[in-house]
Chains A and B, each alone.
Chain A
Amino acid sequence: MLREIEGSKAVAAAVAACRPDVVCAYPISPQTHIVEELSRLVKVGELDSEYVNVESEFAAQSVAIGASAVGARAYTATASQGLLFMAEAVYNASGLGLPIVMTVANRAIGAPINIWNDQSDTMSQRESGWLQLFAADNQEAADLHVQAFRIAEELSLPVMVCMDGFVLTHGVERVDVPEQEQVDAFLPPFQPVQSLDPKDPVTIGAMVGPEAFTEVRYLAHRKQQAALEVVDRVGREFAAAFGRQSGGLLHAYRTEGAETIVVALGSVTGTLKDAVDTLRDDGVPVGLVALTSFRPFPEAAMARALAGAGRVVSLERAFSLGRGGIVEEDLRRVLWNRAGEVALTTVAAGLGGRDITAASLVEVLRRADRGELAPLEFLDLDEATVAAHLAAVGPRTEGAAS
Chain B
Amino acid sequence: MTTSTTATTAPQQSEGRTRFYQVGSFAVGNRLLPEVRSLQSSRERNNTLTSGHRACQGCGEALGARYVLDAATAAAEQAGGSLVTVNATGCLEVFSSPYPESAWRLPWLHSLFGNAPAVATGVAAGLRAKGRDDIRVVAQGGDGGTVDIGFGCLSGMFERGDDVLYVCYDNQAYMNTGVQRSGATPPAVRTATTQAVGDAPGNVFGQGKDVPRIAMAHEIPYVATATVADLHDLERKVAYAMSLHGPRYIHVFVPCPLGWGSKSSHTVRIARLAVESGLFPVFEAEHGEVTGVSPIRRQVPVEDYLVLQRRYAHLFRPTRDEQTIARIQAIADRNIRRYGLLGHPDAVPVLNDEVTGAASTLGARADLNDAPKED
A interface residues (Cβ-Cβ under 8 A, vs B) = 21-22, 24, 49-50, 52-56, 58-59, 62-72, 74, 88-89, 92, 96, 196-199, 201-209, 212
Bound form: Cα–Cα A101–B263 in Å: 50
B interface residues (Cβ-Cβ under 8 A, vs A) = 82-84, 86-87, 93-94, 97-100, 102, 104-112, 114-115, 118-130, 132, 135, 152-153, 155-156, 159-160
Task: Tell whether, in the assembled complex, residue A69 and residue B153 are in contact, meaning their CB atoms are under 8 Å apart.
Answer: no
Given known pairs A66-B121, A198-B83, the reply for A50 and B110 (CB within 8 Å) is: no
Task: Tell whether, in the assembled complex, residue A88 and residue B156 are in contact, meaning their CB atoms are under 8 Å apart.
Answer: no
Q: Which residues of B contact A24 (CB under 8 A)?
A: 122, 125
Q: Which residues of A contact B122 (CB under 8 A)?
A: 22, 24, 52, 62-70, 72, 74
CB distance from B202 to the nearest CB of A (A): 31
Bound form: Cα–Cα A65–B115 in Å: 10
Task: Tell whether, in the assembled complex, residue A68 and residue B126 are in contact, meaning their CB atoms are under 8 Å apart.
Answer: yes
Q: Which residues of A contact B124 (CB under 8 A)?
A: 66
Task: Tell whether, in the assembled complex, residue B130 and residue A55 are in contact, meaning their CB atoms are under 8 Å apart.
Answer: no
Give the secondary structure class of B's interface: mixed
Q: Which residues of A contact B107 (CB under 8 A)?
A: 196-198, 201-202, 204
Task: Tell whether, in the assembled complex, residue B130 and residue A21 are in contact, meaning their CB atoms are under 8 Å apart.
Answer: yes
Bound form: Cα–Cα A201–B105 in Å: 6
Task: Tell whether, in the assembled complex, residue A203 and residue B115 are in contact, meaning their CB atoms are under 8 Å apart.
Answer: no
Q: Which residues of A contact B112 (CB under 8 A)?
A: 62, 88-89, 92
Bound form: Cα–Cα A69–B109 in Å: 8
Q: Which residues of B contact A52 (CB under 8 A)?
A: 121-122, 125, 160
Give the secondary structure class of A's interface: mixed
CB distance from B98 to the nearest CB of A (A): 5
Question: Among the listed B99, B106, B125, B160, which residue makes an inter-chain contact with A22, where contact means beta carbons less than 8 Å apart?
Answer: B125
Task: Tell whether, in the assembled complex, residue B123 and residue A204 are in contact, meaning their CB atoms are under 8 Å apart.
Answer: no
Task: Tell whether, in the assembled complex, residue A206 and residue B156 are in contact, meaning their CB atoms are under 8 Å apart.
Answer: no
Which partner residue on chain A sits nearest B105 by CB separation?
Answer: A201
Which partner residue on chain B sits nearest A96 by CB separation?
Answer: B111
Given known pairs A54-B156, A59-B152, the reply for A92 and B111 (CB within 8 Å) is: yes
Q: Which residues of B contact A49 (CB under 8 A)?
A: 129
Q: Which residues of A contact B118 (CB under 8 A)?
A: 54, 58-59, 62-63, 66
Q: List 24 A-B contacts (CB under 8 A).
A: A22-B122, A58-B115, A62-B122, A65-B115, A65-B122, A66-B111, A70-B127, A72-B130, A88-B112, A89-B112, A89-B115, A196-B107, A196-B108, A197-B107, A198-B82, A198-B106, A201-B107, A204-B107, A204-B108, A206-B110, A207-B94, A207-B97, A212-B99, A212-B100
Q: Which residues of B contact A208 (CB under 8 A)?
A: 99
Max chain A C-beta neighbours (<10 A), residue from B83, B87, B110, B121: B121
CB distance from B159 to the nearest CB of A (A): 8
Question: Among the listed B87, B115, B135, which residue makes an inter-chain contact with A198, where contact means beta carbons less than 8 Å apart?
Answer: B135
Q: Which residues of A contact B104 (CB under 8 A)?
A: 201, 203
Given known pairs A71-B130, A205-B110, A207-B98, the reply for A65 and B125 (CB within 8 Å) is: no
Task: Tell whether, in the assembled complex, residue A65 and residue B99 are in contact, meaning their CB atoms are under 8 Å apart.
Answer: no
Bound form: Cα–Cα A117–B159 in Å: 33
CB distance from B47 to the nearest CB of A (A): 12
CB distance from B122 to the nearest CB of A (A): 2
Which partner residue on chain B sits nearest A19 by CB separation?
Answer: B129
Task: Tell whether, in the assembled complex, residue A62 and residue B111 are in contact, meaning their CB atoms are under 8 Å apart.
Answer: yes
Which partner residue on chain A sits nearest B127 by CB separation?
Answer: A70
CB distance from A82 to the nearest CB of B (A): 14
Which partner residue on chain A sits nearest B98 by CB separation?
Answer: A207
Q: Which residues of B contact A201 (CB under 8 A)?
A: 104-108
